[in-house]
Amino acid sequence: MNTPRTEPRPVLPRVSGAAVTGAVLATGAATYLSWVRQHDDRACATTDSICVTWRGVTAIPLTMTIAVIVLTVVYKRLDIRPRIAVIPPTFLLAPLPLAAAQATAGWWAATLVGGAWSGSFALAAWSRYRILGLTASATLLLVSLVVLYR
């Protein structure tokens, strides 16, 4: 007789995978945006008027597109569902904690916050851990707003 497992599959490896993905994406985004800023500063150093470069215009949409594609693929591989409840908040709200961490402590803090943000929202995908995941995400968001707007 085959009895179904009553315990859910382990959550910790999947949340850890989401956190590592978030940390890698945060590091990549911070590095790329820093490179774009440096390039734009060099390209616009000789102009006195408004200076717009194609790298500067496409930096944010490119970073967000890559993040959504990577998160979709990784969350599918990690069997984190529902992705519709995890990816939009990560996509729409993640720039606030990342910007606060980057502004206060640099790229390593953005890496840690990116991992914590992605991991906490991934944790909220399971009903058993939803309150813990949403509380952690809300705390990160509130702290980042205080850091950014104090």
53 Cβ neighbours under 8 A, 6+ residues apart: 39, 40, 43, 44
Using alpha carbons, list the distances in angstroms from residue 146 to 26, 62, 141.
20, 28, 9
pLDDT for the residue 147: 93
Q: Look at 97 and 7; give whichever has higher pLDDT.
A: 97
| pTM: predicted TM-score of the whole model, two decimal places | 0.85
Neighbours of 124 (CB within 10 A): 21
Using alpha carbons, list the distances in angstroms from residue 122 to 12, 131, 136, 138.
10, 12, 11, 13
Q: Does residue 21 contact residue 69 with C-beta atoms inside 8 Å?
A: no
Mean pLDDT estimate for the chain: 88
Each residue of 77-92: pLDDT tens digit? 998 887 777 778 777 7
Q: Where are the domains of the chain?
A: 12-148
